[in-house]
Amino acid sequence: MTATVSQPLRVVGAAGQRGPLLKIDDVSLEYRTPERVVRATHRVSFDVHAGDRFVLLGPSGCGKSTLLKAVAGFVPPIEGEIRLDGERVRAPGPDRIVVFQEFDQLPPWKTVKQNVMFPLMQARGLRRAEAADVALHYLDKVGLANFADAYPHTLSGGMKQRVAIARALALRPKVLLMDEPFAALDALTRRRMQEELLALWQDAAFTLLFVTHSIEEALVVGNRILLLSPHPGRVRAELNSHQFDLHSQGSAAFQQTAQRIHRLLFDTPAPDPAADTDIADAADIPPRTARAR
């Protein structure tokens, strides 16, 4: 890494000396529609270190979600390689758990507790009693211990996302992947979820790869932001944002960085500094293309 980090983040384990945990090296991705093959990203490289809250930010069509799915192992790169802990990513696996945006990621036939226990037993080989203990511990952390025996269809959207987060954390993946996890939530719930995610990170110090299209969310959630340009996705910049949190949103530095990101992404100044910094609303961008599955 050539970029200098002004304030060293806390180093988790010995990973700080070992170099990056996740290495994305010149990765190009393509997806197929019935008519054509579309290039989603072109030779994207970046490194994620242990304990990072690494954000992929860009407008629709920059391939950030496809990139996340490639890290998860769902989409094979057509060139370049993705290495996690030195090992090449080839298939989906429980060391890279994804929290999706969609609410239907929780199997509806399992209660909240069973939903967290299921991968623990299947992927980690825990016995039922152990899995139940771990599940309750993490459900307690996301404030859902009282809903352990409820079925997902009885929960609100925010609660479902909390279960998905608890399930992901309980598995202790090497890297937690989040694909616009709060995009389908209302603004108030979204803010609270961001707050809770940061609290959980303070608590458990996991490594996070987070995809969003909101500049504000990127600045709040991330400590480092990769900016991607659309059609196809290419790296535009990599910035630090560890100095910002939920309380610095109104500050001058926060607004300045937000405008800088806006300029980097669209090569035009933000129309109104006070306006919502949601990229999808703030700029004239082509309609959302079909997402790679």
Partner 1 sequence: MTTIATTTTQSLPPLRPEYERELEPFTATAVARALPLRQRLWQNSGLRRAVILLVLAALWETVARLQNNDLLLPSFLATAQAFIEGLTTGELLNKAAISLTILLQGYAAGIALAFVLTTLAVSTTIGRDLLDTLTAMFNPLPAIALLPLALLWFGLGSGSLIFVLIHSVLWPLALNTYAGFRGVPETLRMTGRNYGLRGLRYVLLILVPAALPAIVSGLKIGWAFAWRTLIAAELVFGASSGKGGLGWYIFQNRNELYTDRVFAGLAMVILIGLLVEGLVFRTLEAATVRRWGMQR
- Which residues are near partner 1 by CB under 8 A? 72, 74, 91-94, 96-98, 100, 102, 104-109, 118-119, 122-123, 151-154, 293
- For residue 120, the minimal CB distance to partner 1 (Å) is 9
The Cα–Cα gap between 265 and 268 comes to 8
The Cα–Cα gap between 205 and 91 comes to 25
Q: Among residues 178 and 239, whose Cβ is nearest to partner 1? A: 178
The Cα–Cα gap between 183 and 57 comes to 13
- For residue 156, the minimal CB distance to partner 1 (Å) is 13
Is 160:103 a contact under the CB 8 Å cutoff?
A: yes
Q: Tokens standing for 226?
A: 């990769």
- Helix H, strand E, coil C: the string for 200-268 is HHHHHCCCEEEEECEHHHHHHHCCEEEEEECCCEEEEEEEECCCCCHHHCCCHHHHHHHHHHHHHHHCC
Q: Among residues 36 and 293, whose Cβ is nearest to partner 1? A: 293
Q: Among residues 16 and 157, whose Cβ is nearest to partner 1? A: 157
- For residue 87, the minimal CB distance to partner 1 (Å) is 14
Q: Tokens standing for 80?
A: 């370049």
Q: Closest by alpha carbon to 178, among 150, 156, 200?
A: 200
Q: Among residues 130 and 245, whose Cβ is nearest to partner 1? A: 130
- For residue 121, the minimal CB distance to partner 1 (Å) is 10
Q: Among residues 65 and 229, whose Cβ is nearest to partner 1? A: 65
Q: Among residues 106 and 132, whose Cβ is nearest to partner 1? A: 106
Burial of 129 (C-beta count, 10 Å sphere; 0-12/13-18/19+): exposed
Biggest alpha carbon distance in the chain? 57
Q: Among residues 81 and 104, whose Cβ is nearest to partner 1? A: 104
Q: What is the spatial order of strands in the sheet that 79-84 belongs to? A: 37-48, 22-32, 79-84, 87-88
The Cα–Cα gap between 291 and 293 comes to 6
- For residue 262, the minimal CB distance to partner 1 (Å) is 29
